[in-house]
């Protein structure tokens, strides 16, 4: 007889980084679910709110993970980077799933396909159309391989699924979670990263935004700023930076605003930025892409290209965690 699915039944014994203090799994959920009879059967089902259609789609977890990996990372990536992405994505999903006591993003679904809320996801059919028949025939098996070879694997710390986040390009150093969300987690600390230099966002990019547009966007974020103040260069100033040089706090027309909120309000790709007023506009110099916390995706791609394995990639960006299985047969 197959054993019931556990939230974390079995800690694989595959160590990543600093040894974990716990070697045991978590208690099973109150209502056991049947373990898969074979690899072709679903392990767990997840409810996904698909933003483009407004539908809630129910699918097995591994089908969802394939759609995330294909959406979140270039399929041209080395297989080990895709595997690292699969483990990270699965951990995010498990942390959200209601059946496992998670904290979902919506009342009617475990996760959404909106990358600004959860992680990007699209169904397989989207990639058939996007890539074309030949590219799909070549690419999709690679996505399936990455997910199959990491099937059921998640990251844990002290026997509990990790709060995993990742981003596109750190541009030199990842950021500690405490410097973005004021939540200090031992496995979300800053690490140097010289592996993402092939990213188009690694070097600084210049972004020019009209003062009137900035005023409108900041107004939508709840802070009124006169266009004249923006043109004069007196509208906002940096009040706190992180050890990696990212902006933590900004004074906007005398009101404090988190660097992450400021960046999102203006549609900028990173908080590693500076600016100067120029005529009717403000010119921003932006380096990197994303909040900078956790795995740097272009960094993972660079590490994999250098011959690093999935485990080595994950152990570098999430130090002190373990790889665990969410089921056993």
Asked, for residue 191, whether it belongs to a domain, the answer is no
Pairing of strands 45-50, 111-112: parallel
Residues 231 and 125 in one domain: no
Name the packing angle between helices 310-317 and 79-96 (round to 10°): 50
Residue 103, pLDDT score: 87
pLDDT digits 0-9 by tens, 287-329: 999 999 999 999 999 999 999 999 999 999 999 999 999 864 3
Alpha-carbon span 82 to 84, nearest angstrom = 5
Residues 280 and 316 in one domain: no
Asked, for residue 279, whether it belongs to a domain, the answer is yes
- Contacts of residues 309-312 at CB distance under 8 Å and 24 or more positions apart, as own/partner, are 309/80, 310/80, 310/81, 310/83, 310/84, 310/87, 310/150, 311/14, 311/16
Alpha-carbon span 290 to 167, nearest angstrom = 5
At residue 1, does pLDDT exceed 70? no
Asked, for residue 146, whether it belongs to a domain, the answer is yes
Residues 280 and 314 in one domain: no
Residues 238 and 162 in one domain: no
Residues 50 and 154 in one domain: yes
pLDDT digits 0-9 by tens, 172-199: 999 999 999 989 999 999 999 999 999 9
User: What's 162's DSSP letter?
Assistant: -
Asked, for residue 186, whether it belongs to a domain, the answer is no
Asked, for residue 218, whether it belongs to a domain, the answer is yes
Residues 131 and 245 in one domain: no
Residues 254 and 318 in one domain: no
Structure tokens at 266: 């203006």
Query: Domain range for residue 210?
Result: 205-286
Asked, for residue 274, whether it belongs to a domain, the answer is yes
Asked, for residue 177, whether it belongs to a domain, the answer is no
Residue 43, pLDDT score: 57
Residues 19 and 162 in one domain: yes
Residues ≥6 apart with Cβ < 8 Å to 94: 7, 61, 100, 102, 154, 161, 326
Residues 109 and 219 in one domain: no
DSSP 3-state assignment of 156?
strand
pLDDT digits 0-9 by tens, 240-290: 999 999 999 999 999 999 999 999 999 999 999 999 999 999 999 999 999
Q: What is the mean pLDDT of residues 205-230?
A: 96
Name the domain count of the chain. Answer: 2
Asked, for residue 222, whether it belongs to a domain, the answer is yes
Residues ≥6 apart with Cβ < 8 Å to 79: 142, 145, 146, 304
Residues 33 and 109 in one domain: yes
- The dihedral sign for the CA sequence 99, 56, 108, 188: positive
Residues 51 and 127 in one domain: yes
Residues 230 and 318 in one domain: no
């Amino acid at each position: 007889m197959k054993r019931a699915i556990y939230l974390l039944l079995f800690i694989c014994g595959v160590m990543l980084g600093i040894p974990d203090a716990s070697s045991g799994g978590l208690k099973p959920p109150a209502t056991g679910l049947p373990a898969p009879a074979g690899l072709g059967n679903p392990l767990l089902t997840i409810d996904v709110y698909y933003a483009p259609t407004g539908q809630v789609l129910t699918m097995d977890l591994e089908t969802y993970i394939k759609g995330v990996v294909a959406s979140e990372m270039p399929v041209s990536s080395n297989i080990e980077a895709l595997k690292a992405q699969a483990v990270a994505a699965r951990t995010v999903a498990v942390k959200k799933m209601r059946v496992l006591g998670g904290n979902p993003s919506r009342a009617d679904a475990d996760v959404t396909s909106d990358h600004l809320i959860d992680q990007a996801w699209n169904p397989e059919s989207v990639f058939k159309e996007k890539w074309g028949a030949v590219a799909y025939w070549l690419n999709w098996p690679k996505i399936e391989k990455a997910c199959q070879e990491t099937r059921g694997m998640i990251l844990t710390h002290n026997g509990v699924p990790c709060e995993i986040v990742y981003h596109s390009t750190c541009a030199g150093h990842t950021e500690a979670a405490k410097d973005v969300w004021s939540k200090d987690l031992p496995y979300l600390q800053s690490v140097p990263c010289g592996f993402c230099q092939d990213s188009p966002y690694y070097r600084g990019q210049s972004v020019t935004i009209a003062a009137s547009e900035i005023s409108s966007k900041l107004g939508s974020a709840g802070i009124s700023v006169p266009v004249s103040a923006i043109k004069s260069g007196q509208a906002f100033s940096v009040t706190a930076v992180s050890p990696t040089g990212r902006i933590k706090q900004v004074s906007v027309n005398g009101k404090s605003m988190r660097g992450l909120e400021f960046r999102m309000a203006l549609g900028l790709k990173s908080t590693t930025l500076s600016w100067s007023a120029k005529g009717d506009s403000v010119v921003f110099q932006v380096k990197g892409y994303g909040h900078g916390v956790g795995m740097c995706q272009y960094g993972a791609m660079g590490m994999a290209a250098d011959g690093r394995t999935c485990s080595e990639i994950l152990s570098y960006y999430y130090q002190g965690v373990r790889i665990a299985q969410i089921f056993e047969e």
